[in-house]
């Protein structure tokens, strides 16, 4: 490490790498400070806890940059390419070693790579099916007919009067019971 003053870019990169490694282990700033400056540190450095927090913020900013949409898409495409290459290589080696157990191992690797490709491309996602009526409109629902809907209007009126008479009789009965209680 250089003397007092501003650290070189190489020194800052080394410190941030060490800080990132400790952050990945779940350490917080006081523990990272002790790990970097304490007597048990493999290469102790002189750094304040405030500087450790500042370097932690830089590391977190780098993480956010790496997690940007474009970066994630590029990493996703890279993962698919690696899985496809692994699949091709494993299939070719499985064919070359078809007469022994090594070929079976390569075939298993090819199958696992194929499953990974399917998962990375999202081909295993459930298929969404929308049901629509004619011309994309709402679905018409036909309910079963009730036998009462087919009665003659006079028969309907007779039944409704009978139901009303029954309801009136029950109401009269309730009034008698309520009136007789003290």
Torsion of CA 83, 84, 90, 93, to 10 degrees: -150
Residue 42: helix, strand or coil by DSSP?
coil
Would you kindly state where each structural domain of the chain is located, as residue ranges? 9-66, 69-121, 147-180
Q: Please give the sequence-ordered ranges of beta strands (E in DSSP) within 33-138, or none if there are none.
A: none
Beta-carbon count within 10 A of 153 CB: 7
Q: Is the dihedral of CA 126, 132, 137, 141 positive or negative?
A: negative
Q: How many CA atoms lie within 13 A of 181 on its CB side?
A: 5
Which residues, 6 or more positions from 114, have their beta carbon under 8 angstroms from its beta carbon?
87
Output the CA angle 23-24-27, nearest 5 degrees: 40
3-state SS class at 88 = helix
Per-position pLDDT tens, the chain of length 182: 555 678 898 999 999 999 999 998 889 999 999 999 988 888 888 899 999 999 999 999 988 887 787 778 888 899 999 999 999 999 999 999 989 999 999 999 999 999 999 999 988 888 777 788 888 888 888 777 888 788 898 999 999 999 999 999 999 998 888 866 65
């Amino acid at each position: 490490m250089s003397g007092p003053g501003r650290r070189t870019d190489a020194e800052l990169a080394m410190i941030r790498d060490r800080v990132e490694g400790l952050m990945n282990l779940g350490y917080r700033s006081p523990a990272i400070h002790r790990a970097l400056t304490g007597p048990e540190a493999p290469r102790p450095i002189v750094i304040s806890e405030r500087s450790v927090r500042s370097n932690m913020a830089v590391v977190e900013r780098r993480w956010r940059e790496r997690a940007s949409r474009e970066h994630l898409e590029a990493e996703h495409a890279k993962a698919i390419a690696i899985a496809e290459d692994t699949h091709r290589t494993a299939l070719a080696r499985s064919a070359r070693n078809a007469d022994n157990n090594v070929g079976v191992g390569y075939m298993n690797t090819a199958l696992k790579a194929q499953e990974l490709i399917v998962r990375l491309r999202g081909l295993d996602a459930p298929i969404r099916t929308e049901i629509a009526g004619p011309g994309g409109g709402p679905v018409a629902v036909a309910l079963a007919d009730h036998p009462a809907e087919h009665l003659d209007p006079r028969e309907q009126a007779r039944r409704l009067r009978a139901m009303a008479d029954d309801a009136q009789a029950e109401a009269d009965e309730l009034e008698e019971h309520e009136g007789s209680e003290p």
